Structure 1
Amino acid sequence: MSHRTPRAAAAAGVLALGSAVLALLPAQAGAATELLGNGGFESAALSPWSCAGTAATTATAPHSGAAALSAVPGSADLAPCTQSVTVQPNTGYTLTAWVKGSYVTLAAAGTGVSTSTWANAPGWTQLTRTFTTGPTTTQVAVTLSGWYGSPYQADDVSLTALGAIPSSPPPTSASPSPSTAPPSTSPSGAPSSAPPTSASPSASPAASTPANTVRVSTAKELQAALSAAVPGRTIQLADGTYTGNFKITTAGTAAAPITLTGSPNAVLTTATGGGYGLSLANAPYWTVRGITVTNAQKGIMVDASDHVVLDGVTVHHTTMEGVHFRNSSSYGVLRGSTVRDTGTAHDGKGEGVYVGTANTLTDRSDHVQILDNTIGPNIGGENIDLKEGTTGGLVSGNRFDGNGLTNVNYDDSWVDVKGNGYTIENNTGVRTMNDGYQTHTQQPGWGCGTVFRGNTSDLTGASGSNTAKYAIDVTNYSADCPTTVTADNTVTGGTALVNPGVPVG
């Protein structure tokens, strides 16, 4: 949430649609056997696809054959169509589909697998994703989905095996840290070198062996496994509901991070709706992958824990924020995840993602990367709030939905930047109150050095009280506190791309 006095200037925002980061596997030998059924949607019954919302086959201009999938998301759903497929452990797969429409997503999820990519195209466009299953992966859910209120089509969906992946260890030079060095900063906090790109953090350097995998199926087993975790271990959650306030206090290492993994059907929930769903405290080098956290005061809390990766998680229905990097938790990553329905108390304290702590400069949660997530709808604060005292983060490839903003605590934009040296790029946003993106100086010398590039903002229907509405509202632009807005940012609706006096180039 924002802590600032009212201002006359209209708030601003650019919304951004992110480019998914794709790590291609080396070519593998093996027969390309098709694993999906009815990938061409030639069967009018759609089976074995399971679709929610309005979905059917259509004979109108398919990519090939006689039919294609046609789906129409509603105002509060993505009209997903899902098919579960049996796969082999430690195997590479290629997933492809031809799609057309607004922000059509192709994804695969399962035990240790969470990957997605999307396109926004009026004509047929091919999506491709390559992934490797984990040592215990036997099922993967392939999902097609669209964007709120925007029809989409899909055809010729395919999943084929590349072959078994060699078991030799990866190079020792791999690191779970972000692959781009953070920019150095001047005394004012503005970056003195080029901002980071949207390169994704490298994969963990060493996968856990089956002998170091602990499988749990109850809340008691889960808490015991978290308490007994050692570097290099994987904790595998069976599908089911785990009730409690789960806390991680054991550290992994750069050479042997610890992994907590499960499918979205492995659900962490609290008994009362209070406390933290999952907390990491003084617990660096953890990866949390695939699971769902819900029904808590706060979803996932990362405290004093560097190099924590949250990959493909789902966080929803929290009374306060969904994900929070706090108490100098640096080099954290949230990627490929969904955060929605936060701040259910409707008091302006329900940010989707929160980095740092308000009204202090001692929380140095620096270089946090927020990549390729869907944040919204029904976020009770800003989709992302980047606090003063934090530096050098990257917000890239995300899809924002501001439906749920309250302006109770000045939450009237998708992203509010109060830290220094951030890069905000290739995001897309819809449904906001006043602006898309805003910068603010809450402490002298902060809220400076932000770079906005390649963001797509739709301010249509912005319902806030500000007369002027901007995709990017830079409230503190000066030579001592610069902000860069490149010409590839775009806006639909609203007053203008950026507030007067801020150059675009």
Structure 2
Amino acid sequence: MTHRTHRGATAAAVLALGSAVLALLPAQAGAATELLGNGGFESAALSPWSCVGTAATTTSAPHSGSAALSAAPGAGDLAPCSQSVTVQPNTGYTLSAWVKGSYVTLAASGTGVSTSTWANATGWTQLTRTFTTGPGTTRVTVTLSGWYGSPYQADDVSLTAIGAVPSTPPSSSAPATPSPSATASASPSAPTPTPTPSASASPSASASPSGDTVRVGTAKELQAALSAAVPGRTIQLADGTYTGNFKITTPGTAAARITLTGSPNAVLSTTTGGGYGLSLTGASYWTVRGLTVTGAQKGIMVDASDYVVLDGVTVHHTTMEGVHFRNSSSHGVLRDSTVHDTGTAHDGKGEGVYVGTANTLTDKSDYVQIVGNTIGPGIGGENIDLKEGTTGGLVSGNRFDGNGLTNVNYDDSWVDVKGNDYVIENNTGVRTMNDGYQTHTQQPGWGCRTVFRGNASDLTGANGANAAKYAIDVTNYSADCPTTVTADNTVTGGAALVNPGVPVG
């Protein structure tokens, strides 16, 4: 049956609806309430920002208004400026800032939140991140920071809510790092390697249901929670120090990851300097997020565990390596994390990130992604060591600082590639001993088909014994073992971009 409506009634209804919509518009426009105070740095006192090092307002060419933040990192600090604000659980937020300078970082951290982005630009550039708070998130700290010895400016910093999220969304902390293509990675004289998965396609850091959350506040509770972990569960760490060596042995699944999460103020520490701070053995499909590991012999050890994501973690002051993917732990991810002051024994065994095992081809820790991290200073070995027997990994968008290299065990570069079919792209590096990046053949047929593209190397002050210092030193180039070096790699200081005999194009 068709019901007819009187034209007059229809017109009245339309007018009423239009009035209702117009009435709603001002409320919608004002819904994005600014959470940060003094985001434009118009107040010379900087408050409520808290800054470490040299920082003040400047009236010289701000992005908008009459002032901006001007900070000057020293030789051993990043001149961070932070502000902590109250947020709502299970809510989406947009964080943005305008910055200029060398490697300026914008970050947000808190319980269940760890995300960052950065830019290296002489003119004003906007940084933006979106993130979703967890069920227990009530405060988030926003931080601006620079790079050692490089002044930076920031202006118009903003944090606004997007709105409540009805269900747990995918993690937004993965950087938009380009995926290496098979055509870019392949040499005409070599077989096409298996494409490396992109960082944005890596497992979600928020894949477990929000309803199964275990909150812990002591080392004993943490040990018990790790032992009782089941697929789909989130273990939420309160801020504080958790003393001991913590072990994970229960795997999650592709459909139901297990998450261990906390803020950088949730610290796993050992008082003896021995053992592993956090070990995952046979524990595939875990996400470890936001927390800090320090004081152990080795920081985070991933053994025989596939699809492990280490997201926004901090590892520092270990006597040996900081993070190690080992015993055929494939498709692992280390992203948006900080590793510094490893190898404090100063015996050349303190790599920042270590993939595989030396002198063996049986450790197939393949397709590991190391993306968007800050590695260094104080790394007592290579910032990254990629061992023979490992294949197809991605090293992208990282910042390396080689202040700490010892050359005790040939650690004289930021990255040493001994595996096959790696892509090394869009990284920056400062302060090295001899070279920026090196490839080596430790086993026949290995150390081959590496692609270097878009890397910026600063070799200024390199003080190693080698007379010639190169951004990319390919020690085993041949038709059977090629290396691709694209023309968008750059070098400051040193002898040349690449050693003689290696084509650039």
Change in CA separation of 1:183 and 1:419 when aligned onto 2, cut-off 3 Å: farther
Per-residue CA deviations over 1:16-63 (Å, capped at 9, x if unaligned) read xxxxxxxxxxxx998111000010111111111111111111122211
Match of 2:275 in 1: 275
Q: Is the 8 A contact 1:422 1:451 kept in 2?
A: yes
The superposition leaves residues 376-421 of structure 1 with CA deviations (integer Å, 9 ceiling, x where unpaired) of 0010000000000000000000000000000000000000000000
Q: Deviations over 1:421-443 (max 9, x none)?
A: 00000000000000000000000
Cα 1:169/1:151, change in 2 over 3 Å: closer
2:178 and 2:198 in contact (8 A); partners too: no
Q: Using the alignment, how far apart are the partners of 1:131 and 1:115 within structure 2?
A: 7
CA distance in 2, matches of 1:238, 1:182: 41
Return the offset for 1:181. Answer: 9.3
1:496 aligns with 2:496: yes
Counterparts of residues 10-409 of structure 1 (less than 5 Å):
31-167=31-167, 192-193=192-193, 196=196, 198-204=198-204, 207-409=207-409
Q: Would the aligned equivalents of 1:198 and 1:396 in 2 still touch at CA under 8 Å?
A: no
User: If the length of structure 2 is used for normalisation, what is the TM-score?
Assistant: 0.90
Runs of 4+ residues over 3 Å off in structure 1: 178-186, 193-199, 205-211
CA distance in 1, matches of 2:352, 2:469: 22
The percent of aligned pairs where both chains have the same amino acid is: 86
SS at match of 2:42: coil
User: TM-score when scaled to structure 1?
Assistant: 0.90
The residue identity in structure 1 corresponding to 2:73 is P
Is the 8 Å Cα contact of residues 309 and 334 (structure 1) preserved in structure 2?
Answer: yes
Q: Deviation digits for residues 349-389 of structure 1, max 9, x if unmatched?
A: 00000000000000000000000000000100000000000
Deviation, structure 1 residue 72: 0.5
**What is the alpha-carbon distance in structure 1 between the residues aligned to residue 248 and residue 488 of structure 2?**
42
2:200 is paired with a residue of what secondary structure?
coil
Instruction: Answer yes or no: is the 8 Å Cα contact 1:191–1:449 preserved in 2.
Output: no
Q: What SS class does the counterpart of residue 220 from structure 1 fall into?
A: helix
Deviations 1:322-357 (A, max 9, x none): 000000000000000000000001100000000000
CA distance in 1, matches of 2:439, 2:195: 17
Q: Which moved more, 1:194-203 or 1:356-365?
A: 194-203
Distance 1:77 1:198, change over 3 A: farther
Cα deviation per residue 1:284-305 (whole Å; 9 max; x = unaligned)? 0000000000001000000000
Counterpart CA distance in 1 for 2:80 and 2:178 is 33
Cα separation, 2, equivalents of 1:57 and 1:151: 13
Whether the 8 Å contact between 2:194 and 2:392 is mirrored in structure 1 is: no
1:449 matches 2:452: no
What do residues 271-327 of structure 1 show as CA deviations (whole Å, max 9, x unaligned)?
A: 211110000001000000000000010000000000000000000000000000000
From the superposition, tell whether residues 207 and 362 of structure 1 become closer, same or farther in structure 2 (CA, over 3 Å): closer
3-state DSSP of counterpart to 1:263: coil
- 1:210 CA displacement: 4.2
Q: Which amino acid aligns with 2:235?
A: I
RCO higher in structure (CA 8 A, sep ≥6): 1
| One-letter amino acid matched to 2:463 | S
* 2:19 paired residue number: none
Q: CA 1:29/1:254 → structure 2, altered by over 3 Å: closer, same or farther? A: farther
Question: How far apart are residue 209 of structure 1 and its match?
Answer: 3.6
> Could you tell me which residue of structure 1 aligns to residue 423 of structure 2?
423
SS of residue paired to 1:350: coil
- The separation in 2 between residues aligned to 1:471 and 1:252, in whole angstroms, is 41
Tell me: CA distance 1:183–1:277, structure 2 relative to 1, closer, same or farther (3 Å).
farther
Deviates more, 1:109-118 or 1:314-323: 109-118
Contact 1:98 1:126 in 2 (8 A): yes
d(CA) in 1 for partners of 2:235, 2:359 = 37
2:201 aligned counterpart, secondary structure: coil
After superposition, the C-alpha distances for 1:61-117 in whole angstroms (9 at most, x for unaligned) are 211112111111010110000111111112111111111111111111112211111
Tell me, yes or no, if the aligned pair for 2:205 and 2:287 is still in contact at 8 Å. Answer: no
Q: 1:474 to 1:205 in 2, by over 3 A?
A: closer
Closer/same/farther in 2, CA of residues 456 and 294 from structure 1, 3 Å limit: same
Residue ranges of structure 1 left out of the alignment (5+ in a row):
1-27, 171-177
Between the aligned partners of 2:82 and 2:200, the Cα distance in structure 1 is 27
Change (3 A) 1:101 1:180: closer
For the Cα contact (< 8 Å) 1:30–1:161, is it kept in 2? no
Letter in 1 for 2:165: I
Distance, in Å, in 2 between the alignment partners of 1:52 and 1:354 is 32
RMSD of aligned alpha carbons: 2.2
Deviations 1:216-274 (A, max 9, x none): 00000000000000000000000000000000000100000000000000000012111
Q: Distance in 2 between matches of 1:492 and 1:210?
A: 48
Structure 1 residue 129, shift from structure 2 partner: 1.0
Q: Which moved more, 1:204-213 or 1:257-266?
A: 204-213
Which letter maps to 1:349?
A: K
Structure 2 residue 489 is matched with structure 1 residue 475: no
